[in-house]
Amino acid sequence: MRRWLDDDEPWLQRKRMQLAALWHNKVPRSFRFWGMVHALFKGALIIAAPATAVIYGSASVATATLVGAGLIFLNMGASFADRYSAVRNSRNDYQSEALIRFGDLLTTVKRGAIVGRADRDMAMTACLGIIENFCLPITHSTKGEIAVSLILYQGNSSNRLRLARRNPGNERPVNRPIKSERLLGHYACQKGGSPRVVNDIRHFGSEFATSPTQTSLNYKSILILPLECHIPGGGTRIRGFVSIDNVRPYAFYGNRANVVVVMCEPIINQLRELVGD
* CATH at 142: 3.30.450.40
| Structural domain includes residue 194 | yes
Q: What pLDDT sits at residue 197?
A: 95
Cβ of 143: how many Cβ atoms within 10 Å? Answer: 13
Contact 133, 94 (CB under 8 A): yes
| Structural domain includes residue 76 | no
| Structural domain includes residue 255 | yes
| Structural domain includes residue 37 | no
| Structural domain includes residue 225 | yes
Which sign does the torsion angle of CA 214, 217, 219, 221 carry? Answer: positive
Please write the tens of the pLDDT for every residue from 216-227. 568 899 999 999
What does the DSSP 8-state code read for residue 267? H
pLDDT above 90: residue 252 = yes
CA distance 217 to 168: 19
Average pLDDT in the chain: 79
pLDDT above 60: residue 6 = yes
Q: Pick from 141, 106, 129, 97: which is nearest to 242 by CA?
A: 129
CA distance 57 to 237: 81
Q: Work out the average pLDDT over 253-263.
A: 92
Please write the tens of the pLDDT for every residue from 102-160. 656 655 665 455 557 778 888 899 899 989 988 998 998 888 899 999 999 988 888 89
Using CA atoms, how far residue 113 sits from 107, 110, 119, 123, in Å, is 11, 5, 10, 11
Cβ of 79: how many Cβ atoms within 10 Å? Answer: 13
Q: What pLDDT sits at residue 106?
A: 59
| Structural domain includes residue 50 | no
Residue range of the domain that includes 253 = 93-276
Integer-rounded Cα Rg, in Å, for the chain is 24
pLDDT confidence bin for 64, thresholds 50/70/90: confident
Q: Pick from 150, 151, 249, 258: which is nearest to 196 by CA?
A: 258
CA distance 138 to 257: 9
Q: What pLDDT sits at residue 247?
A: 93
- The DSSP annotation for 67-88 comes to HHHHHHHHHHHHHHHHHHHHHH
| Structural domain includes residue 217 | yes
Q: What pLDDT sits at residue 260?
A: 93
Burial class (CB in 10 A: 0-12, 13-18, 19+), 31: exposed
Give the CA angle between residues 138, 166, 20 to the nearest 5°. 40
| Structural domain includes residue 12 | no
Please write the tens of the pLDDT for every residue from 149-198. 999 998 888 889 999 999 998 888 888 888 888 889 999 999 988 999 99
Go through 230-242 and write b for each residue having 16 or more CB atoms within 10 A of its CB, e for each that does not. Answer: eeeeeeeebbbbb
The larger pLDDT score, comparing residue 249 to residue 230, is at 249
Q: What pLDDT sits at residue 46?
A: 74
Q: Pick from 240, 29, 39: which is nearest to 145 by CA?
A: 29
**pTM score, whole prediction:** 0.73
Q: Work out the average pLDDT over 203-225.
A: 77
What is the number of domains present in the chain?
1
State the number of CA atoms in the 13 A half-sphere of 56 facing the CB.
6
